[in-house]
Structure 1
Amino acid sequence: MARPTPLRDVHESLGATLTDFAGWLMPLRYGSETAEHRAVREAAGLFDLSHMGEIFVTGPQAGQALDYALVGHLSVLATGRARYTMIVNPAGGVVDDLIVYRLADDEFMVVANASNYRTVALALTNRARGFDAQVDDRSDAYALVAVQGPHAQEILASLTDTDLPNLRYYAGLPGVVAGVEALIARTGYTGEDGFELFVRGEDAVTLWQEISKAGQPYGLVPAGLSARDTLRLEAGMPLYGNELNEETTPFDAGLGRVVKFDKPGDFVGRAALEALRDAPPRRQLVGLVARGRRVPRHGFSVVAGDRVVGEVTSGAPSPTLGKPIAMAYVETGAHEGLAVDIRGSLEPMDVVELPFYRRNK
């Protein structure tokens, strides 16, 4: 049975369509997913992300333990900053993509995807052995609420004394929002400016309600998983289970930059990734824009001539572009004359550089 977040009653009162996502009962949409998407691009959206996992790594050697466990160089991360990284298996396959926040000299918070946080917590526990560090999965204690969009800063500024204008992208600091203690992070998964607020589960309803009231003059709306997916797709952001899995390496996804070979010491997957770094890429993640109106979906074949050269990983109508778009893995160099097999019909596609959408800063 799907597990509710602390905001379930709020979602039901708003008429949300709820769905099972990674074992959690989550809002899919509240009304029109296209309207929710456009609100985030033009005004602001409010998201419940309480299904995400929060795993703490603490102790004198917490940074070194994470350097060994993950592909990134986390021990050099400044307090108050965050970094996108990955945990891979010994063969270099992606176990999960993560955001790591350094909260203090000896305290880090690892945010994992809902479908993987238990796997990540166990792997971190195993990989931290031999280091003076402790791993503590505190996911059950936390709720996560996100405000995303051009007016996100204005909305939150009315609820906190925190210096939001000087809070840098991929940074986080403790503060009080609407009387609720929170870790305020300038991070997100929409391609827009915004904030993610980590709070105690029992404070989630109060925080949601206060942000909703403060956001009304700015056009803020609640937004569900459907809008979150089309927003991240337009922004070219990978989704675990689609663009990333244990058969995929960071290099496949065009994210080799997150692998820090220059950090000292060994890390899990290093040897495999070093061998792959210098090898010709076997496939590439590309953006596709449909010439017609039919939508390429996850798992559909990408065809060049009479050959299957790849597979769609994510696809949806793009409210911003007004056309169907997709991300797909294709054979290296297979960029011309591509089509997607949509239920027996070959629909022509144009290859474009990712992301499909980039906000004006």
Structure 2
Amino acid sequence: MKHTALTKTHEALGAKMVPFAGYNMPVQYEGVNIEHETVRNSVGVFDVSHMGEFLIEGPNSLDLIQKVTSNDASKLTVGKAQYSCIPNDDGGIVDDLIVYRIKEDTYLLVVNASNIEKDWNWISSKNDVGADMRDLSEDYSLLAIQGPKAVEAMQSLSSLDLSEIKFYNFVVGDFAGIEHVIISATGYTGSGGFEIYCKNSEVKQIWDKVMEAGESYGIKPIGLAARDTLRLEMGYSLYGNDIDDTTSPFEAGLGWIVKFTKSFTNSENLSEQKKRVLDRKLVAFELDEKGIPRQGYDIVDSNGKAIGKVTSGTMSPSLKKGIGLGYVAPVFSDFGSKIYIQVRKNAIPATVVKLPFYKG
């Protein structure tokens, strides 16, 4: 079991710790609903240092990134970030990730914790252009400071104007007394805020100062359970649940990050797939009656015939109703379509809805 640099801090705060992607991680502190509402209404801080960071450098760094990712990284200027995915050779997804352009020929790839080794091996196998690759995952920490009051609460910690950092942009500057920190206006909650990348040796100081600066704003530490409910209310895909090696970006509603302005792994096959009718589509649904959909539950039609499975599901703390994602045949994918979720012996009616679930 690996530990982040803040494990002892979480334990001292009374966090319930669980194994996650090989790391000992805080799943909750006070409770999922309290933590969820804190992020939606004010500001919370997550330790997500289990995420992976790869540095890709050199004159051919962009060539490698263009080859292994589906989005067009040539559109990135220094200080901008981009959501993308790594296609495999079979039409599926190796991982989803964020690509940061740090300098002219320097990029940071931020990948899912459970896929660090897989992604590293995959990208290395495609590196026939001589790009310099470094795995920084073990040396760097990542804090997500999320919520509508994040900018106001954190402004005292930096000489930079945090309100000027636009969504999916970042700066490298001073934060909480540490120089050369990446302050990125990204996150997976849908409530605004920042992600802070720093060295392991710096993160305790930053965490303490973040908690101090946010105290008058009601800041709380937030666990992975609330991170999951927050991202699901936005309809953001979670690797291993909603997307994996067998799901295509088009099935998953991620066609917007697949750009055929360049050649990339399996791009010809994906281009053909885009033109034809898909066998299944990822849909969002809300339960019409009481119940909680869970990953793996069957989705059935009005006759009780299985038409798919729930990939992510929860009781939405904001909407106070059961919500979820799942793959179904296209005939059931139109907004307003009626489907049923098999919760034990009951087939609970649900309606296919447009994302996000949470409108803010």
TM over 0.5: yes
The alpha-carbon deviation at position 293 of structure 1 amounts to 2.1
The alpha-carbon deviation at position 257 of structure 1 amounts to 1.2
Q: Does 1:119 align with 2:118?
A: yes
Asked whether the 8 Å contact 1:296–1:325 carries over to 2, the reply is yes
Q: Which moves more between the two structures, 66-75 or 208-217?
A: 66-75
In 1, the alpha carbon distance for the partners of 2:137 and 2:153 equals: 27
Asked whether the 8 Å contact 1:91–1:273 carries over to 2, the reply is no
Q: Does 1:297 align with 2:294?
A: yes
Asked whether the 8 Å contact 2:338–2:352 carries over to 1, the reply is no
Per the alignment, residue 154 of structure 1 pairs with 152
Q: Does 1:105 align with 2:86?
A: no
Asked whether the 8 Å contact 2:304–2:347 carries over to 1, the reply is no
Write out aligned runs for 1:65-84 (5 A). Answer: 65-84=64-83
SS of residue matched to 2:26: strand
Write out aligned runs for 1:298-317 (5 A). Answer: 298-304=295-301, 305-317=303-315
| C-alpha RMSD over aligned residues | 1.0
Per the alignment, residue 137 of structure 1 pairs with 135
Per the alignment, residue 52 of structure 1 pairs with 51
Per the alignment, residue 38 of structure 2 pairs with 39
The alpha-carbon deviation at position 135 of structure 1 amounts to 1.2
In 2, the alpha carbon distance for the partners of 1:53 and 1:152 equals: 24
The alpha-carbon deviation at position 132 of structure 1 amounts to 3.8
Per the alignment, residue 211 of structure 1 pairs with 210
SS of residue matched to 2:71: coil
In 1, the alpha carbon distance for the partners of 2:61 and 2:296 equals: 39
Percent of aligned pairs with the same amino acid? 39
The alpha-carbon deviation at position 97 of structure 1 amounts to 0.1
In 1, the alpha carbon distance for the partners of 2:231 and 2:22 equals: 21
Asked whether the 8 Å contact 1:19–1:26 carries over to 2, the reply is yes
Per the alignment, residue 183 of structure 1 pairs with 182
The alpha-carbon deviation at position 38 of structure 1 amounts to 0.2
Per the alignment, residue 17 of structure 2 pairs with 18
SS of residue matched to 1:139: coil
In 2, the alpha carbon distance for the partners of 1:293 and 1:159 equals: 44
Per the alignment, residue 344 of structure 2 pairs with 343
Asked whether the 8 Å contact 1:242–1:314 carries over to 2, the reply is yes
Instruction: Give the TM-score normalised by the residue count of structure 2.
Output: 0.97
Amino acid at match of 2:204: V
SS of residue matched to 2:190: coil
Amino acid at match of 1:238: S
SS of residue matched to 1:121: helix
Structure 1 gap ranges (5+): none
Asked whether the 8 Å contact 1:124–1:135 carries over to 2, the reply is no
Amino acid at match of 1:347: I
The alpha-carbon deviation at position 3 of structure 1 amounts to 0.9
Write out aligned runs for 1:165-184 (5 A). Answer: 165-181=163-179, 182-184=181-183
Asked whether the 8 Å contact 2:288–2:351 carries over to 1, the reply is yes
The alpha-carbon deviation at position 77 of structure 1 amounts to 0.9
SS of residue matched to 1:170: coil
Per the alignment, residue 359 of structure 2 pairs with 358
Which of the residues 269, 272, 275 maps onto 1:272? 269
SS of residue matched to 1:285: strand
The alpha-carbon deviation at position 327 of structure 1 amounts to 0.8
The alpha-carbon deviation at position 12 of structure 1 amounts to 0.5
User: Deviation per CA, 1:276-319, whole angstroms, max 9, x where unpaired?
Assistant: 11010211111111122210100100000231111101001101
SS of residue matched to 1:75: helix
SS of residue matched to 1:140: coil
Q: Which moves more between the two structures, 68-77 or 37-46?
A: 68-77
Asked whether the 8 Å contact 2:158–2:174 carries over to 1, the reply is yes
The alpha-carbon deviation at position 133 of structure 1 amounts to 1.2
The alpha-carbon deviation at position 275 of structure 1 amounts to 1.5
The alpha-carbon deviation at position 198 of structure 1 amounts to 0.2
SS of residue matched to 1:18: strand
Amino acid at match of 2:117: R
The alpha-carbon deviation at position 234 of structure 1 amounts to 0.1
In 1, the alpha carbon distance for the partners of 2:328 and 2:352 equals: 11
Which of the residues 283, 292, 306 maps onto 2:280? 283
The alpha-carbon deviation at position 45 of structure 1 amounts to 0.8
The alpha-carbon deviation at position 358 of structure 1 amounts to 2.9
In 2, the alpha carbon distance for the partners of 1:217 and 1:7 equals: 23
Q: Which moves more between the two structures, 306-315 or 49-58?
A: 306-315
Instruction: Give the TM-score normalised by the residue count of structure 1.
Output: 0.96
User: Deviation per CA, 1:250-276, whole angstroms, max 9, x where unpaired?
Assistant: 00111111111012xx31111220121
Per the alignment, residue 226 of structure 1 pairs with 225
Per the alignment, residue 95 of structure 2 pairs with 96
Asked whether the 8 Å contact 1:302–1:340 carries over to 2, the reply is yes
Deviation >3 Å, runs of 4+: none
Q: State the number of aligned residues.
A: 355
Asked whether the 8 Å contact 1:282–1:332 carries over to 2, the reply is yes
Amino acid at match of 1:75: S
Amino acid at match of 2:37: R
In 2, the alpha carbon distance for the partners of 1:117 and 1:196 equals: 19
Asked whether the 8 Å contact 1:296–1:340 carries over to 2, the reply is yes
SS of residue matched to 1:212: helix
